[in-house]
Homo-oligomer: A and B are copies of this chain.
Amino acid sequence: MDLSRLAIHTQTNKPWTLAQCVDAYSRAGIRGISVWRDVLDKAGASDAAKLLRGAGMSVPALVRGGFFPAADAKSRQAAIDDNLRCLDDAAVIGAEMVVLVVGAVPGMELGEAREQVTEGIARLLDHAGAVNVKLAIEPLHPMYAADRSCINRMAEARAVCEALQNPLVGIAVDVYHVWWDPDLEAEIALAGRQKTLFAFHVCDWRVNTRNLLTDRGLMGDGCIPIRKIRSWVEATGFKGFNEVEVFSEDYWSMDQHTYLTRITDAYLSHT
């Protein structure tokens, strides 16, 4: 019944405010919470910080920054400004990292978009160092390549890390996005050696996925070999949280307290 390494993303319990999440997670013995910006903005960063500290919560991540590529310099600058604010908020709430969904522009060549991502992250490094917050590139599933992420495998996230060579830049591995990748085991091991394995997110792939965005399964609902992937991650010496991140209309429509019990059960049985 070890929940010491369980963290939950607030978006998993989307109907709840940050205060409701903190209260319910605390009562359930869950000590980790990754905070999404929508609930943070509603609570206000300094009030959120007090709430999280008061409950003794660890905050692996503020979710999410990124969305760097754009057709014009003005839009690219706006993205940088937004990411700088995100780093500030992360520092205020004591988040270890900002998760980056790096972005993509329909019609822009993916290689060009990845160059803009590398440039964008480079422009955040001084500030990330000043506030001591890490930046975790999250490869997204190839079904999001059109408009959400031009980085769809760990290999391309690694290429950015290798280009920037900064200890604050690493990778968030989410099983939903990368479970199918034949190179996954090797890339996880390599990320371990390169000290870039910053985060591990879990959920499941429903075999009949009905929606590209909001039909994720809870661990055990689908076909992802989560325990095996976790074993690869832990073989690198990873000591971080197992972060549950589920977007699901079905689960959002449930009573969220009942759902939280399902989450902890699924975590203990299938992660």
Using a CB–CB cutoff of 8 Å, the interface residues on chain A facing chain B are 106-107, 109-111, 141-143, 145-147, 152-153, 155-156, 179-182, 205, 207, 209-210, 212, 222-223, 225
Contact = CB atoms under 8 A, between A and B. Distances in A.
B106 A223 contact: yes
15 contacts: A107-B223, A141-B142, A141-B143, A142-B142, A142-B143, A143-B143, A143-B212, A146-B205, A146-B207, A146-B222, A146-B223, A147-B223, A153-B182, A209-B212, A210-B212
Contacts of A107: 223
A106 B207 contact: yes
B180 A110 contact: yes
A182 B154 CA distance: 12
A182 to B, nearest CB: 6
A209 B207 CA distance: 18
Contacts of A146: 205, 207, 209, 222-223
Contacts of A147: 207, 223
Given A146-B205, A146-B207, A207-B147, A182 B141 contact: no
Contacts of A111: 182
Q: How many copies are assembled? A: 2
Contacts of A207: 106, 146-147
A112 to B, nearest CB: 11
Contacts of A181: 142
A210 to B, nearest CB: 8
Nearest to A150: B180
B106 A209 contact: no
Nearest to A155: B182
Contact of A180 (B152, B155, B180, B212): B152
A143 B109 contact: no
Contact of A145 (B109, B145, B155, B180): B180
A143 B140 CA distance: 12
B225 A109 contact: yes
Nearest to A151: B182
Contact of A209 (B143, B156, B223): B143
A266 B156 CA distance: 32
A156 B182 contact: yes
Contacts of A110: 180, 182
Contacts of A141: 142-143
A225 B155 CA distance: 22
Contacts of A222: 106, 146
Contacts of A212: 143, 209-210, 212
